[in-house]
Amino acid sequence: MNLNLITQKFTKIFPGDFSGNTMQRQTPEVMFCTVKPAHFNDAELIDFNEKLSEEIGLGKIEDQTDKDFLVAQNLPENIETYATAYAGHQFGNWAGQLGDGRAIFAGEIINKNRQTEIQWKGAGATPYSRNADGRAVLRSSIREYLMSEAMYHLGVPTTRALSLSKTGEDVIRDIQYSGNPQKEQGAVVVRTAESFLRFGHFELLSARKQNELLKQLADYSIENFFPEVQSENNSSKYIDWFQAICDRTLRMIIHWYRVGFVHGVMNTDNMSILGLTIDYGPFSMMDGYDLEFTPNTTDLPGRRYAFGKQAQISHWNLAALANAIFPLINNQEVLEKILDGFGRQFWVKHDQMLAQKFGFDEVLAEDEKFFTEWQQMMQDLNLDYTLFFQNLEKPISEFKVEDFKDAFYRNLNENELKKLSDFIEKYRQRKLKNKISESESFQLMSKTNPKFVLRNFLLFEAIQAAENGNYEMFFQLKKALENPYEILYPEFNQKRPSKYDNQTGSSQLSCSS
User: Taking CB positions, which residue lies at the least distance from ligand AMP?
Assistant: 101
Query: How near is the Cβ of 88 to Mg ion at its closest, in Å?
Result: 8
Instruction: Pick what 324 binds: ligand AMP, Mg ion, none; C-beta below 5 to 8 Å, kind-dependent.
Output: none
Ramachandran assignment for 177, one of left (phi > 0), alpha (psi -120 to 50 degrees), beta (any other) = left
Counting residues that bind Mg ion (by CB under 5 A) gives 2
Q: Which residue, 129 or 356, is less far from Mg ion as judged by CB?
A: 129
Return the exposure string of 478-510: e unless at least 16 CB atoms fall within 10 Å of the residue's CB, then b: bebbeebeeeeeeebbebbeeebeeeebbbbbb
Among 320, 337, 445, 336, which residue's Cα sits nearest to residue 388?
445
Cα 254 to the center of its chain, rounded Å: 13
Under rule CB under 6 A, residue 100 binds ligand AMP: yes
**DSSP state, 503?**
-
Query: How near is the Cβ of 269 to Mg ion at its closest, in Å?
Result: 5
* DSSP E strand boundaries for 194-277: 261-262
Instruction: Kindly list the distances between the CA atom of residue 503 and the CA atoms of 90, 128, 259, 411, 443, in Å, as whole numbers in the listed order.
Output: 26, 32, 22, 21, 36
Exactly one of 150, 245, 265, 454 binds ligand AMP (CB under 6 A); that residue is 265
* DSSP E strand boundaries for 239-356: 261-262, 284-285
Query: How near is the Cβ of 285 to ligand AMP at its closest, in Å?
Result: 19
Among 108, 86, 82, 109, which residue's Cα sits nearest to residue 97?
86
**Alpha-carbon distance 84 to 73, whole Å?**
20
**Alpha-carbon distance 146 to 454, whole Å?**
8
125-144 mask for ligand AMP (x: CB under 6 A)? ---xxx-xxxx---------
Instruction: Pick what 102 binds: Mg ion, ligand AMP, none; C-beta below 5 to 8 Å, kind-dependent.
Output: ligand AMP
Half-sphere exposure of 384 (CA within 13 A, CB side): 27
Q: Which residue, 130 or 419, is less far from ligand AMP as judged by CB?
A: 130
Q: Which residue, 279 or 384, is less far from Mg ion as judged by CB?
A: 279
Under rule CB under 6 A, residue 367 binds ligand AMP: no
Q: Hey, is 406 helix, strand or coil?
A: helix
Q: Known catalytic residue: 42?
A: no
Q: Which residue, 124 or 288, is less far from Mg ion as judged by CB?
A: 124
Q: What does the DSSP assignment read for 114-171? A: EEEEEEEESB---TTSTTS-SBEEHHHHHHHHHHHHHHHHHT--B-EEEEEEEEEEEE
Instruction: Pick what 510 binds: ligand AMP, Mg ion, none; C-beta below 5 to 8 Å, kind-dependent.
Output: none
Query: How near is the Cβ of 128 to ligand AMP at its closest, in Å?
Result: 6
Return the exposure string of 276-315: e unless at least 16 CB atoms fall within 10 Å of the residue's CB, then b: bbbbbbbbbbbbbbbeebbbbbbbeeeebbbbbbbbebbb
Among 67, 157, 56, 159, which residue's Cα sits nearest to residue 110?
56
Query: How near is the Cβ of 167 to ligand AMP at its closest, in Å?
Result: 13
Under rule CB under 6 A, residue 511 binds ligand AMP: yes
Instruction: Pick what 308 binds: Mg ion, ligand AMP, none; C-beta below 5 to 8 Å, kind-dependent.
Output: none
Q: Which residue, 36 or 153, is less far from ligand AMP as judged by CB?
A: 36
Query: How near is the Cβ of 27 to ligand AMP at its closest, in Å?
Result: 13
Under rule CB under 5 A, residue 184 binds Mg ion: no
For ligand AMP, which stretch binds (CB under 6 A), given 62-70, 265-273, 375-383, 484-492? 265-273
Tell which positions 267-306 bind Mg ion, by CB under 5 A: 270, 279
Give the β-pairing of 160-173 and 44-48.
antiparallel
Q: Which of 17, 47, 100, 269 is catalytic?
A: 269
Tell which positions 135-194 bind ligand AMP, by CB under 6 A: 135
Instruction: Pick what 100 binds: ligand AMP, Mg ion, none; C-beta below 5 to 8 Å, kind-dependent.
Output: ligand AMP
Using CB atoms within 10 Å of the CB of residue 167, give its burial: 0 to 12 exposed, 13 to 18 middle, 19+ buried: buried
Under rule CB under 6 A, residue 102 binds ligand AMP: yes
Q: Which residue, 149 or 279, is less far from Mg ion as judged by CB?
A: 279
Q: Which residue, 265 or 424, is less far from ligand AMP as judged by CB?
A: 265
Q: What residues does 187 pair with on adjacent strands? A: 136, 166
Q: Which residue, 126 or 243, is less far from Mg ion as judged by CB?
A: 126
Query: How near is the Cβ of 277 to ligand AMP at its closest, in Å?
Result: 13
Query: How near is the Cβ of 130 to ligand AMP at its closest, in Å?
Result: 6
**Alpha-carbon distance 32 to 106, whole Å?**
13
Tell which positions 314-343 bind ligand AMP, by CB under 6 A: none
Instruction: Pick what 133 binds: ligand AMP, Mg ion, none; C-beta below 5 to 8 Å, kind-dependent.
Output: ligand AMP
Q: Looking at this protein, which amino acid is placed at residue 30?
A: V
Q: Which residue, 141 or 270, is less far from ligand AMP as judged by CB?
A: 270
User: Angle, nearest 10°, between helix axes 237-259 and 332-358?
Assistant: 30
**Alpha-carbon distance 341 to 334, whole Å?**
11
Among 91, 87, 459, which residue's Cα sits nearest to residue 296?
91
Instruction: Pick what 98 binds: Mg ion, ligand AMP, none; C-beta below 5 to 8 Å, kind-dependent.
Output: ligand AMP
User: Taking CB positions, which residue lies at the least distance from Mg ion?
Assistant: 279
Query: How near is the Cβ of 506 to ligand AMP at its closest, in Å?
Result: 19
Catalytic residue positions?
A: 269
**Which residue ranges make up the site for Mg ion (CB under 5 A)?**
270, 279
**Which residue ranges make up the site for ligand AMP (CB under 6 A)?**
98-102, 128-130, 132-135, 265, 269-270, 279, 281, 511
